Structures are given as C-alpha cells and as structure tokens.
Amino acid sequence: MEEARTYEELRVGFTAAVSHELRTPLARLLALLDSATLPDADQDGLIAQAREQVEQMSELIDDVLFLSELESGREVVALGSTPALPVFEEIRDRLADSAERADVRIRIDVQPADVALPLRRRMLHVVVENLAVNAIRHAGPGATLTLAARPGILEVADDGRGVSEAELPRLFERFYRSDRARASRGTGLGLAIVKHVVASAGGEVRAEGGPGRGLQIRSTFPAPATAL
C-alpha cells in the first residue's frame, strides 16, 4: 500500500510538471498567433517563432514518452555493447552547426580507438547526444566540449562557465534547470534520461565542476562478467 501511494504521488507530480512545462510554449504560441493578425505584423518572423514553440513542445513530448518507455521496461538498455568512436563522430558531425553558433569546439578522446561501452547503439546515442547538447547550450562561448571514452567509462566534459556546486546534485532531476538555463531552450529532461539509461545498464553517473571550472559528467559501468 505504501509503495502504491508513493507511486501515485510521483505520477501525479510528474503529470503536473509536464502540464506546467507545456503551458508556457502554448501560451507563447497563442500570443504569436494573435500578433500575426495585427496590421503590419511581421508574419514571417512570427511564424518562425511559432514554429520554434511547436518544436519545443514536440521535443518535450518525445522526451516524456521515451522516459516512460524506459521506466516501464519496454526499452532494452544494455543489450550487447557498442563501439564508442563511430557514435561520437556521428554526434559531433550532427551538432557541428549548433556548436559553431554557440562558439563551442567539440573534440573526441577515445582510448583505445576500438573501445566499446555496454549500451546498445540507440541508448549510447541518446546519452551522448543529450550530454553534448546540454554542454553546447550552457558551456558558453570559447568553451571546448570533450567526448571521452575508456573501458567502462563515458565522460562528456566542458571547460566552460560551469554551475554552482550546490546545483550539481540536482542536475539529474526531472525538469530541473539552473537560473541561467531557464533562459535557454530545453525540456529539462535530458539529464534525467541520461541517469535513467545509465542506471538501467547497471552504471552510475555523477557530475563535477564549479563556477569557471566547467562541467564534467562521468558515467561508469560495471566490468563484464568473465566466464568460468
């Protein structure tokens, strides 16, 4: 009974949080549509802004559905292993334009070059891309973002402006955003998804850093069992 009550409280809280997060872009979208009907309105500009709000809502819904699949056990997380380097290179190329606009350089550090991590490919892609996007959005101009892998270790780190040490334990909470991050686009679910994927694969994730010292997010995975 206690577990059922706790689950229901979490479900209600999560539903309320999702509703709140959707309400803001919906309100902006309605305001933009109203503005578009005014005389001499810049309709092309308003339509572009409205499209951004729709994309933000779509991104939030996708993240909520993906997190729900993880929690219901419908997404298999640790099924074999995936070489890190090809995934890192794909994400670097995919995010090249947004990184250039943010003045963030992306580098890759994989040793040995054929190291594999114990996640299936889609899951590894989700984790690395969420961490990289978070860094590009918040590291600040002139920062370097490093995608690194070692046997049993995945680290995405930047040398940017960082976050306060008091915020570090809260970064993986659903919908948590630091005061600075609230002004930027994002669903607030990316790091929560990262934590859930890593934990589902039997690993642990932690964040380190501080103001002016960047942010380092390291995921560690247990060593594979050896046959007797």
Q: Could you check whether 2-72 and 82-220 share the same CATH topology? A: no
Check residue 215 and give its pLDDT.
Answer: 94
Fold observed for domain 82-220:
Heat Shock Protein 90 (3.30.565)
Helix, strand or coil, per DSSP, at residue 219: strand
Check residue 226 and give its pLDDT.
Answer: 44
Domain range list for the chain: 2-72, 82-220
Cβ(161)–Cβ(209) below 8 Å = no
Residue reference for tokens 């932690």: 206
Say how far apart CA 6 and CA 144 lie, in whole Å.
42
152 to each of 55, 63, 114, 198, how far by Cα in Å?
35, 26, 13, 11
Mean pLDDT by 10 residues, the chain (228 residues): 55 56 75 85 86 75 65 60 94 94 96 92 87 92 96 96 84 63 54 84 90 93 61
Check residue 83 and give its pLDDT.
Answer: 95
Cis omega (within 30 of 0) on the bond before 25? no
Fold observed for domain 2-72:
Helix Hairpins (1.10.287)
Say how far apart CA 162 and CA 215 lie, in whole Å.
5
> Is the pTM of the predicted complex or chain greater than 0.85?
no
Check residue 181 and give its pLDDT.
Answer: 46
Say how far apart CA 173 and CA 195 lie, in whole Å.
9
Check residue 208 and give its pLDDT.
Answer: 92
Query: Residue 123: how many CB atoms within 10 A of its CB?
Result: 23
